[in-house]
């Protein structure tokens, strides 16, 4: 193996190394994270072929290998469900792609410690224009007695009880970023060895950034405090911490990942016609809220800390503001004034 690979930890090596810090750990969380890494590698292969669908056959058709070509988000959902079902750590899942939870209900799964919620392919509307997309996941320890997990106790938990959360970004490179309470770490897929390798250890988000991300097209639908903050961002200059730049890809994983690394704020506010906004609490807002808080940032729904929200429905939506602590505090001041 070349010298460069010898010094770089793979995701598998990192998760196993973390076990040393928890002698009582059973290794189930490490195993679950490796399972998600496997699904991510399989999804990555198909995402990278997306542009060739016309050659390989349209979704719903049968390709040259005689396999049915599935829509990418259905494919991604099946990959995530498959690795979690066949692993040792997950008792059941909730997915953006499926109306209700799926309980695995077999002898091993019913003894498993965790449940997982995920958005298998967020931003899939961007696939046909080759914009980065992502997978988002959220891990909870089950609360109910062992056996079949139940929706209310095990899946509708507040985000503060997440054991781990993360995302995969299928971009110029493919990265898996996940957080536990011990920190946020980023792994970049090295195609030459087919492994996620630790490339961004112990990620901390800057207290301030110069990037604000929001859909300006909805400006006049936002509440006054949000409009006031957006105007403040536009008035920033060299004398008061600016100038700011507006960056909005329309793919949450890409926008939030960029702001996590560089510093910035991402906003998907509620609107007059959609007071709860568009983003889903359990598998879009909560995971990123957890990741940003561990990295030193903040996340609210405009009124309260996202991680404190008590969910009532698997697919409920929430207004979402997340990013650098200093910028979030400026937003909060505008919303209170």
Question: Where do contacts with ligand P6P occur on this chain (CB under 6 A)?
Answer: 122-123, 125, 215, 250-252, 255, 278
Q: How far is the CB of 278 from ligand P6P (least distance, A)?
A: 6
Q: How far is the CB of 252 from ligand P6P (least distance, A)?
A: 3
Q: How far is the CB of 123 from ligand P6P (least distance, A)?
A: 4
* DSSP 8-state code for residue 217: G
187 forms beta bridges with 176, 198
> Does residue 240 have a known ligand-binding role?
no
The CB-nearest residue to ligand P6P is 252
The owner of tokens 């030459």 is 192
Inter-CA distances, 192 with 8, 50, 189, 196, 283, Å: 14, 21, 9, 11, 31
The residue (of 131 and 232) whose beta carbon lies closer to ligand P6P is 131
Which ranges of the chain does DSSP label H, i.e. alpha helix? 3-7, 11-19, 28-47, 53-56, 72-86, 224-235, 252-262, 286-294, 325-336
267 forms beta bridges with 321
The residue (of 35 and 73) whose beta carbon lies closer to ligand P6P is 73
Q: Which helix (H) or strand (E) holds 197?
A: strand 195-200
Give the count of beta carbons closer than 10 Å to the beta carbon of residue 18.
Answer: 18
> Does residue 284 have a known ligand-binding role?
yes
> Does residue 96 have a known ligand-binding role?
yes
The residue (of 69 and 131) whose beta carbon lies closer to ligand P6P is 131
The residue (of 32 and 47) whose beta carbon lies closer to ligand P6P is 47
> Does residue 228 have a known ligand-binding role?
no
Whether residue 195 contacts residue 164, with contact meaning beta carbons closer than 8 Å, is answered with: no
The residue (of 91 and 271) whose beta carbon lies closer to ligand P6P is 271
The whole-angstrom separation of Cα 57 and Cα 105 is: 35
> Does residue 248 have a known ligand-binding role?
yes
> Does residue 28 have a known ligand-binding role?
no
**Binding-site annotation: residue ranges for substrate:** 215, 248, 278
**Binding-site annotation: residue ranges for Mg(2+):** 96, 119, 121-122, 284
**Binding-site annotation: residue ranges:** 96, 119, 121-122, 215, 248, 278, 284
């Amino acid at each position: 193996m070349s010298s460069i690979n010898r010094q770089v930890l793979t995701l598998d090596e990192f998760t196993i190394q973390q076990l040393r810090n928890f002698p009582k750990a059973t290794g189930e969380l490490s195993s679950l994270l490796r399972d998600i890494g496997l699904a991510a590698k399989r999804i990555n292969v198909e995402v990278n072929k997306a542009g060739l669908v016309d050659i390989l056959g349209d979704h719903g058709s049968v390709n040259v290998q005689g396999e049915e070509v599935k829509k990418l988000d259905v494919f991604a959902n099946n990959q995530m469900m498959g690795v979690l079902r066949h692993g040792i750590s997950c008792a059941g899942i909730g997915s953006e792609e499926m109306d209700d939870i799926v309980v695995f209900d077999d002898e091993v799964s019913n003894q498993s410690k965790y449940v997982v919620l995920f958005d298998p392919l967020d931003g899939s509307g961007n696939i046909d224009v080759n914009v980065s997309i992502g997978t988002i996941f959220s891990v909870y320890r089950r609360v109910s007695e062992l056996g079949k997990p139940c929706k209310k106790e095990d899946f509708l938990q507040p985000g503060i009880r997440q054991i781990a959360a993360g995302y995969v970004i299928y971009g110029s490179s493919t990265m898996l970023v996940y957080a536990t309470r011990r920190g946020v770490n980023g792994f970049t897929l090295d195609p030459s060895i087919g492994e996620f390798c630790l490339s961004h250890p112990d990620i901390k988000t800057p207290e301030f950034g110069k990037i604000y991300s929001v859909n300006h097209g909805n400006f006049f639908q936002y509440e006054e405090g949000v409009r006031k903050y957006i105007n403040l961002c536009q008035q920033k200059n060299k004398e008061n911490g600016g100038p700011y730049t507006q960056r909005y890809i329309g793919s949450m994983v890409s926008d939030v990942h960029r702001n996590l690394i560089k510093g910035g704020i991402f906003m998907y506010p509620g609107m007059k016609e959609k007071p709860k906004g568009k983003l889903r609490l359990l598998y879009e807002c909560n995971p990123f809220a957890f990741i940003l808080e561990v990295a030193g940032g903040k996340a609210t729904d405009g009124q309260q800390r996202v991680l404190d929200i008590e969910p009532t429905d698997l697919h409920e939506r929430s207004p979402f503001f997340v990013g650098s602590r200093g910028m979030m505090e400026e937003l909060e001041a505008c919303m209170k004034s």
